[in-house]
Chain A
Amino acid sequence: MYFKVGKVGTKIILITLGILFFAIGSTTLISGYIFSREYTDVLKSKLSIVGESLKSQLDRVLAFGIPLRELVGFEEQCQEIINRYKEISYAMVVDKNGEILFHNDPSNHHKIVTCLTALQAVKKDKETIQVCPDEGGKYLEFIHPIFDGNGEHIGAIRVGFPLNIITEKTKQLVFYSVGVALVFFALAVLLLVLGLSTWITKPLMRLLTVIQEIREKGTNFTRRVEIKSKDEIGQLASAFDKMMEDLQRTTVSKDYVDNIIESMMDALIVVDPDGKIQTVNKATCDLLGYPPNEMIGKSIDAILPTPGYLDEQGEIENFEASLKRKEGGTIPVLLSSSVMRDKSGNIEWIVCTARDITERKQAEETLRESEDRYRDLVECSQYLILTHNLEGQVLSINHGGATYLGYEPKDFLKKNIRDLLPHGVKDEFGTYLDTIRKQGSAKGLMLVQTATGERRVWEYDNTLRTEGVTMPIVRSISHDITERLQAEKAVRRLSQENAIMAEIGRIISSTLNIQEVYGRFAAEVGKLISFDRISVSTVNPDGRSVTIAYVWGAEVPDRKQGDILSSTGSLYEEIRAKRSGILIQVEDEEELAKSYSRLLSNFRAGFRSMISVPLISKDQLIGILNFRSFKSKNYRESDLGLTEKVGNQIAGAIANAQLFMERVQAEEERTALQEQLRQSQKMEAIGQLAGGVAHDFNNLLTVIQGYCDLILKDLDEKSRFFEDMTEIHKASERAALLTRQLLAFSRKQVLQPKVLDLNKVVLNMEKMLRRMIGEDIELATVLEKSLGRVKADPGQIEQVILNLAINARDAMSNGGKLMLETSNTQLDEHYAQSHVSVIPGRYIRLSVSDTGMGMSPEIRERIFEPFFTTKEKGKGTGLGLSTVYGIVKQSGGNIWVYSEPGQGTTFKIYLPTIEEGTTNPFVSTLVLPQSLQGSETILLVEDENAVRRLASTILQNNGYKVLEAANGEEALHMVHGIPPQSIHLMLTDVVMPRMSGRQLADRVESWQPTMKVLYMSGYTDNAIVHHGVLDPGTAYIQKPFTPDTLVSKIREVLDNS
């Protein structure tokens, strides 16, 4: 801030302050006066309001008729008014005599008003406003007269305030006004000072400073005031600056020249004609190490390289010379000199300039050393660094590169690059040159022939230079990468091997299907090693033979997949001994025959290169991996190692797969056996059920049939009941047939087995079968000539063949072929293990095959179940195959069915072979009785009452005496009551509660030793039969029986001795 007392700013401020003081003073006085008047009016107005208010309240109360003096507590109203209006100093009610009745200050009650002016006013009946002098000062008061209810003046209300309150208030106002004015005054002064300083004093001081500076320094016209304002001061400064610009433009000062000389970078030396130095600049002193004044007057020869140097040289320009420094030594400079002459041509001054070139000299030296290093680097480099023109002619080459290729550099300069390329790739050089011309650069690989004829691969990176040269040249840098390429190739192959090994490992671990492993393995290994045939032979468990497990590629006549070869004399023995692979590459068959005769078949198939490597798992040779190639010498020793690694990789997989297959096979066999067992148990259970039903059913049928026969015998054929009874009888016969079939299935029927030749059975049935199956079906029999014998019930076997033929016929509704085959066969332990209920041994196999529709596995599983049929309703009972099953099983045989949908069906029946001679099953040995009547005594034992009554009736009708017993105990009791030998025959049921028929017979035998026994039953059990075969000498009649059958059987037993 530029502000000085006594200056322009001070004067302005003083004037301004004076004006302000006057304004504030006058304003304060006027406002004080006005305020005093107004405030007085306000107070008067308040006095009037207060007085009116009190008067109004007083009037209201007085209206109740209460005398003024008897009012209570009106001073509270006065006090309340005083509290509300702070300026009011008193409010009172006085009577007409001036006695104070109520006062805001109760201590004044009953006092007499002392102010005479007031006293006079109270006595008036008019409102009065007046000044009342009091002891404490003057008061302005308002007096309201009071009237009673009759209008009589009774007193007045006085309210007033001290007049000095107006003076005090006015003083306060003036005081505050002046205070506020002073604050504003101070702010105004501050702003004024700031404004003066910024806009007037400061610019003027700056102008003054510049003018004083110019005055003191003379010709320094570069100074400017530079005030931007547009007021008068700004205009003054602008005019001053303009004037200074004009002066600067038209005046050259000594300082100006001195400054130029002093600011020169080059040394300047002015010499008089006597060689004395007259002037030097700062650069000269700095260059030569002299103080500024020491050089003045010295001879120029003191710094020149040789005395008289300037005289010798005369005027020179940029001449390299060395100047002497004060401390000794020289400094290189570019020296120039010129001569200044007077108007007469005499030398007036010689002006010399010298430029320090020390750095330039150092740079030149550095450059030279650098070039030497680079030249050495290039010349000695093993890289081939050369230039050639666009025709390929070598222009330059480094020594190292030329030597590396076997050439002297000078010889190389005569060559064209094309000459270095071997035949076959020379043409590519033209392409290279085209690339260089078009793109300005080329990089790649180049096959180069050295001076010794060796071919090397060079990698080049060449660029074309066209600028700064007279003709385009190609800059070439290349290096030999032959070894690197070979190493990379080796690495790639190793990497590929590893990848393929890993892939083979992945294949092996991804599947246990060995054939899939072989196939994918062959595909992968083909990427590593070439072959025309690959095969895998696995060692069989006997260790003496191998199986060709896998073959891919060209065929060898006696080496096909699946062939089993003896290991004797084969490669296997040599490989097992060596436990390593064999590489054989021969061209001569005889030579091969000497060592490996077993490989001749390979040789004759055209293979000239062969590798066989062992497959070893867990230290056991499990097979051989063979590679065969038609090419001669296709393999190297390294390939042998590689294939051995491959063999090791796959051997484990083969072993695992073999183990897996064995386990799978075992698991399948176990599952099949379980299924057979389940099926067998199911059939057994169904058989038990069917047998039980048949037993009860037979009893019922016996009764129905028996009574039917009895009725029919007595019934006239013309009777209207005869036909009905006949139908009942037929139905019972059909029911009996079904029951027999059920018994057959449940293996509860009684067989009468004989030694049979199945061929004869088949032949005897052939004619009947042809008729039965019809003309659309061809019947063929294939019977083994020396067929063994079986022991079976011939009738039941016929039933088996018949039922199977019927089943085949129904399966070939559109015709086909039915084939019956017989053969001897041996079922070994292995077969027995895989087939439930099969006992190892010799069997006769009877096969019944058709070419019909076949059946699904679901149907096949249930085909032997009773009442299961796929035929239309009414066309089959569902008991045909069940009967077959029961008969075969009861005959000690087995039956298996093989069938697929659309592929026909084959039933194979195995019956054990026996060595006994055959009997003619079709010659009856029974002696039929002549008469069915009799008179013997028969003990009839039957727990079923109906059957017992029927049998008794039949027997009695035919003349027999019948003793009836409902069970064994009753029979025993009865027998013991009869003399011995008095009972001729005991007809007994076999199956009875508590005591079977057989047990009863045994107990009775001692008492009635001559008594014959005829058993009757719906089905048999072990009481009289073993596996369905009657004990020898046992007489038996099957329920249900007809009356004729019974009496015939009774007669037969009685008559046979």
Chain B
Amino acid sequence: MLWIVLFFFFLISVPMVSSSPKYKILHVMSYHLPWEWNEDQLRGFKDALKGLDIDYKVFQMDTKRKSTEEWKNRVGKEARDLIKTWKPDLVYTNDDNAQQYVGKYYVNQSLPFVFSGVNADPQEYGFWGSKNITGILEQEHSIETLKFLKEIVPKVSRIAVIVDDDPTWGGVIKRIKERAAIHLPGIEFVSFDAVHTFKEYQERVREYQKKVDALGLLGIHTFKDGKGENVPWQEVLGWTAMNSQLPDFSFWKDRVPYGTLCVVYVSGYEQGLAAGKIARGILAEGKSPSSFPMVPTIKGQPIISLARAKNLGVEVKTKILLAAKVVEKYEWEK
């Protein structure tokens, strides 16, 4: 009889003993929902934490639609107040504004923070060396994009890169040069041109038609017209699609509907998934945040403009169409 009692006691007690604790995670996103980038990150983050009993709370700072400094300070304060009252076990912050107005206030405190989608140098927020904050950096998939381009147009070997006068492109160009030298020995960068006006841009594009095999269009936001007015980047790309017979590439997917041939962009899902794995290590395995290095994601998402390919006369292989996202029409054709 005693055996039976003990056996049943064992059966009852096993689930009690093996059940994991419930964790509270506050997700502070810089922007808003619904938005694919944010949704992808949150989805990836949750996938990484599958199996754990987690109570999620999402705080939307909505700083894309409301970008004044006053608003940012206000929602940052609200987010910090929420941390104080709700007492999460971990805070997951997306994109830079969440770091600027929330994360940096908690450097070297006990509450763990995990971020993703951060473009800036983490040191701007004081994260380097912090014991409680780590996460995933958002850095362009330059090599993957170039490989993707070669897959679409195998003959590409000479490339010219054009940027506007935004100083941030210096860092991007430096990274491209460093990585390409290692991973793409067959690619030659003929030039990296920084131009100021739309006219200059047009001249360069025309000039390069016979000189290079492809164009890299990185900075296209600050070109000025003859009146000194800013030329919208959509217009820049539209002109390019209509006037350039060179395949071109960039690193941001919003360029593709406006004519850029191909991009391998940073995957929100991958960002969220990588951040979620760190969060899992901190919560479930008891590891220190500082034991996880702050690195970018490896996997990117390819996207191709089928309309541009048609314009260029490029026959896109079926396997590319199957593997990548496909934009069938130009934005203005929709």
Min distance, Cβ B74 to any Cβ of chain A, angstroms = 46
- Measured in the bound complex, the distance between the Cα atoms of B321 and A76 in whole Å is 13
- Measured in the bound complex, the distance between the Cα atoms of B319 and A76 in whole Å is 8
- Measured in the bound complex, the distance between the Cα atoms of B151 and A73 in whole Å is 12
CB pair A65–B321 under 8 Å, yes or no, is: no
Report B308-322 CB contacts with A as 1/0, cut-off 8 Å.
000000011111011
CB pair B317–A76 under 8 Å, yes or no, is: yes
CB<8 Å pairs between A and B, sample of 14: A57-B318, A61-B318, A61-B322, A64-B306, A64-B326, A64-B328, A65-B328, A72-B317, A73-B317, A73-B318, A73-B319, A74-B318, A76-B319, A77-B322
Which residues of A lie under 8 Å from residue B319 when comparing CB positions?
Answer: 73, 76-77
Report B235-248 CB contacts with A as 1/0, cut-off 8 Å.
00000000000000
- Measured in the bound complex, the distance between the Cα atoms of B321 and A73 in whole Å is 10
A60 at the interface (CB under 8 A from B): yes
- Measured in the bound complex, the distance between the Cα atoms of B160 and A543 in whole Å is 136
CB pair A57–B328 under 8 Å, yes or no, is: no
CB pair B321–A64 under 8 Å, yes or no, is: yes
Min distance, Cβ A52 to any Cβ of chain B, angstroms = 15
Report A71-91 CB contacts with B as 1/0, cut-off 8 Å.
111101100000000000000
CB pair B318–A77 under 8 Å, yes or no, is: yes
- Measured in the bound complex, the distance between the Cα atoms of B326 and A72 in whole Å is 15
In chain B, positions 275-334 with a C-beta closer than 8 Å to chain A are 306, 315-319, 321-322, 326, 328
Min distance, Cβ B282 to any Cβ of chain A, angstroms = 40
- The residue of chain B having its C-beta at the shortest distance from the C-beta of A71 within the complex is B318
- Measured in the bound complex, the distance between the Cα atoms of B319 and A57 in whole Å is 9
- The residue of chain B having its C-beta at the shortest distance from the C-beta of A74 within the complex is B318
CB pair B315–A60 under 8 Å, yes or no, is: no
CB pair B317–A57 under 8 Å, yes or no, is: no
- Measured in the bound complex, the distance between the Cα atoms of B318 and A64 in whole Å is 11
CB pair A76–B326 under 8 Å, yes or no, is: no
Min distance, Cβ B198 to any Cβ of chain A, angstroms = 32
Q: Total interface residues on A, using CB and 8 Å? A: 11
- Measured in the bound complex, the distance between the Cα atoms of B319 and A74 in whole Å is 7
- The residue of chain A having its C-beta at the shortest distance from the C-beta of B320 within the complex is A73
CB pair B328–A72 under 8 Å, yes or no, is: no
Which residues of B lie under 8 Å from residue A76 when comparing CB positions?
Answer: 317-319
Known pairs A60-B321, A76-B317 / 4 extra A-B pairs, C-beta < 8 Å: A61-B322, A64-B321, A71-B318, A73-B317
- Measured in the bound complex, the distance between the Cα atoms of B318 and A77 in whole Å is 8
- Measured in the bound complex, the distance between the Cα atoms of B301 and A302 in whole Å is 132
- Measured in the bound complex, the distance between the Cα atoms of B143 and A921 in whole Å is 139
- The residue of chain B having its C-beta at the shortest distance from the C-beta of A72 within the complex is B315
- Measured in the bound complex, the distance between the Cα atoms of B315 and A71 in whole Å is 8
CB pair B316–A72 under 8 Å, yes or no, is: yes
- Measured in the bound complex, the distance between the Cα atoms of B111 and A222 in whole Å is 98
A-B contact count (CB 8 A): 27
- The residue of chain A having its C-beta at the shortest distance from the C-beta of B306 within the complex is A64
Min distance, Cβ B153 to any Cβ of chain A, angstroms = 13
B residues near A (Cβ < 8 Å) are 306, 315-319, 321-322, 326, 328
Which residues of A lie under 8 Å from residue B315 when comparing CB positions?
Answer: 72
Min distance, Cβ A408 to any Cβ of chain B, angstroms = 104
Q: Ordered nearest first, which 9 A-B pairs have the shortest CB separation?
A: A73-B317, A72-B315, A74-B318, A73-B318, A72-B317, A61-B321, A61-B318, A64-B328, A71-B318
Which residues of A lie under 8 Å from residue B316 when comparing CB positions?
Answer: 72
- Measured in the bound complex, the distance between the Cα atoms of B322 and A61 in whole Å is 7
- The residue of chain A having its C-beta at the shortest distance from the C-beta of B328 within the complex is A64
Report A27-63 CB contacts with B as 1/0, cut-off 8 Å.
0000000000000000000000000000001001100
In chain A, positions 704-752 with a C-beta closer than 8 Å to chain B are none
- Measured in the bound complex, the distance between the Cα atoms of B315 and A73 in whole Å is 9
Min distance, Cβ A1049 to any Cβ of chain B, angstroms = 108
- The residue of chain A having its C-beta at the shortest distance from the C-beta of B310 within the complex is A66
Which residues of B lie under 8 Å from residue A65 when comparing CB positions?
Answer: 328
- Measured in the bound complex, the distance between the Cα atoms of B152 and A73 in whole Å is 12
- Measured in the bound complex, the distance between the Cα atoms of B319 and A61 in whole Å is 9
Which residues of B lie under 8 Å from residue A71 when comparing CB positions?
Answer: 318
- Measured in the bound complex, the distance between the Cα atoms of B322 and A57 in whole Å is 7
Min distance, Cβ A72 to any Cβ of chain B, angstroms = 4
- Measured in the bound complex, the distance between the Cα atoms of B316 and A74 in whole Å is 11
- Measured in the bound complex, the distance between the Cα atoms of B316 and A73 in whole Å is 8
- Measured in the bound complex, the distance between the Cα atoms of B328 and A61 in whole Å is 11
- Measured in the bound complex, the distance between the Cα atoms of B315 and A812 in whole Å is 144
Which residues of A lie under 8 Å from residue B326 when comparing CB positions?
Answer: 64
CB pair A72–B306 under 8 Å, yes or no, is: no
Which residues of B lie under 8 Å from residue A77 when comparing CB positions?
Answer: 318-319, 322
Which residues of B lie under 8 Å from residue A57 when comparing CB positions?
Answer: 318, 322
- Measured in the bound complex, the distance between the Cα atoms of B316 and A57 in whole Å is 15
Which residues of A lie under 8 Å from residue B306 when comparing CB positions?
Answer: 64
Min distance, Cβ B312 to any Cβ of chain A, angstroms = 14
Which residues of A lie under 8 Å from residue B318 when comparing CB positions?
Answer: 57, 61, 71-74, 76-77
- Measured in the bound complex, the distance between the Cα atoms of B316 and A888 in whole Å is 143
- The residue of chain A having its C-beta at the shortest distance from the C-beta of B315 within the complex is A72
Min distance, Cβ B152 to any Cβ of chain A, angstroms = 11
- Measured in the bound complex, the distance between the Cα atoms of B309 and A65 in whole Å is 14
- Measured in the bound complex, the distance between the Cα atoms of B317 and A74 in whole Å is 7
- Measured in the bound complex, the distance between the Cα atoms of B318 and A61 in whole Å is 7
Q: Which of B306, B315, B321, B326 has the most CB of A within 10 A?
A: B321
- Measured in the bound complex, the distance between the Cα atoms of B305 and A81 in whole Å is 27
- Measured in the bound complex, the distance between the Cα atoms of B321 and A416 in whole Å is 144
Q: Which of B318, B319, B326, B328 has the most CB of A within 10 A?
A: B318
- Measured in the bound complex, the distance between the Cα atoms of B321 and A577 in whole Å is 147
Min distance, Cβ B302 to any Cβ of chain A, angstroms = 15
In chain A, positions 907-962 with a C-beta closer than 8 Å to chain B are none
Min distance, Cβ B293 to any Cβ of chain A, angstroms = 37
- The residue of chain A having its C-beta at the shortest distance from the C-beta of B314 within the complex is A72
Min distance, Cβ B155 to any Cβ of chain A, angstroms = 15
- Measured in the bound complex, the distance between the Cα atoms of B326 and A619 in whole Å is 136
Min distance, Cβ B327 to any Cβ of chain A, angstroms = 10
Min distance, Cβ A74 to any Cβ of chain B, angstroms = 5
- Measured in the bound complex, the distance between the Cα atoms of B310 and A64 in whole Å is 12
- Measured in the bound complex, the distance between the Cα atoms of B320 and A60 in whole Å is 12
- Measured in the bound complex, the distance between the Cα atoms of B313 and A72 in whole Å is 13
Min distance, Cβ A64 to any Cβ of chain B, angstroms = 6
- The residue of chain B having its C-beta at the shortest distance from the C-beta of A76 within the complex is B319
Min distance, Cβ A9 to any Cβ of chain B, angstroms = 52
- Measured in the bound complex, the distance between the Cα atoms of B321 and A77 in whole Å is 12
- Measured in the bound complex, the distance between the Cα atoms of B326 and A77 in whole Å is 18
- Measured in the bound complex, the distance between the Cα atoms of B320 and A77 in whole Å is 11
- The residue of chain B having its C-beta at the shortest distance from the C-beta of A70 within the complex is B315
Which residues of B lie under 8 Å from residue A61 when comparing CB positions?
Answer: 318, 321-322
Which residues of B lie under 8 Å from residue A60 when comparing CB positions?
Answer: 321-322
- Measured in the bound complex, the distance between the Cα atoms of B316 and A291 in whole Å is 122
- Measured in the bound complex, the distance between the Cα atoms of B306 and A73 in whole Å is 16
- Measured in the bound complex, the distance between the Cα atoms of B315 and A76 in whole Å is 15
- The residue of chain B having its C-beta at the shortest distance from the C-beta of A65 within the complex is B328
Which residues of B lie under 8 Å from residue A74 when comparing CB positions?
Answer: 318
Which residues of A lie under 8 Å from residue B321 when comparing CB positions?
Answer: 60-61, 64
Q: Which of A57, A60, A65, A73 has the most CB of B within 10 A?
A: A73
Min distance, Cβ B17 to any Cβ of chain A, angstroms = 43
Report A1021-1038 CB contacts with B as 1/0, cut-off 8 Å.
000000000000000000
- Measured in the bound complex, the distance between the Cα atoms of B319 and A72 in whole Å is 9
- Measured in the bound complex, the distance between the Cα atoms of B154 and A72 in whole Å is 14
- The residue of chain B having its C-beta at the shortest distance from the C-beta of A75 within the complex is B318
Min distance, Cβ A272 to any Cβ of chain B, angstroms = 93
- Measured in the bound complex, the distance between the Cα atoms of B319 and A65 in whole Å is 16
Min distance, Cβ B290 to any Cβ of chain A, angstroms = 45
- Measured in the bound complex, the distance between the Cα atoms of B230 and A456 in whole Å is 152
- Measured in the bound complex, the distance between the Cα atoms of B316 and A949 in whole Å is 143
Min distance, Cβ A146 to any Cβ of chain B, angstroms = 14
- The residue of chain B having its C-beta at the shortest distance from the C-beta of A56 within the complex is B322
Which residues of B lie under 8 Å from residue A72 when comparing CB positions?
Answer: 315-318
Which residues of A lie under 8 Å from residue B322 when comparing CB positions?
Answer: 57, 60-61, 77
- Measured in the bound complex, the distance between the Cα atoms of B306 and A72 in whole Å is 13
- The residue of chain B having its C-beta at the shortest distance from the C-beta of A73 within the complex is B317
- Measured in the bound complex, the distance between the Cα atoms of B306 and A65 in whole Å is 10
